[in-house]
């Protein structure tokens, strides 16, 4: 089977601009795209509003490294991520 036929059979899912995308880079960095703002901020917990609830990043020495309308980057000793619907 040639590469063109393989590509035609594979359909990549479309990601809506409203659906958050979370990328974890090791245990020290999280990138969140399509967020709706910060709800709470401390060195141990940062809560981010997303379209269907909130995302809670837990750990120690957490900080917002970068933030704009499309994405934000959290850095620190990340222990867990929790997603709350609703």
Tens-binned pLDDT, residue by residue, of the chain (86 aa): 566 666 666 665 555 568 899 999 999 999 999 999 999 999 999 999 999 899 999 999 999 999 999 999 999 999 999 999 86
What tens digit of pLDDT does each residue of 36-55 get?
999 999 999 999 999 989 99
Q: What is the pTM of this model?
A: 0.78
Q: Phi and psi for 60 in degrees, rounded to 5? A: -140, 150
Query: How many CB atoms are located within 10 Å of the residue 7 CB?
Result: 10
**CA distances (Å), origin 40, targets 49, 61, 62:** 9, 15, 12
């Amino acid at each position: 089977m040639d590469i063109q036929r393989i590509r035609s059979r594979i359909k990549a899912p479309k990601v809506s601009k409203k659906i958050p995308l979370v990328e974890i880079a090791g245990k020290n960095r999280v990138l969140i795209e399509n967020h709706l703002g910060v709800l709470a901020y401390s060195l141990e917990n940062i809560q981010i509003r997303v379209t269907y609830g909130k995302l809670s990043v837990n750990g120690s020495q957490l900080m917002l490294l970068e933030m704009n309308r499309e994405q934000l980057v959290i850095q620190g000793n990340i222990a867990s991520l929790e997603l709350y619907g609703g």
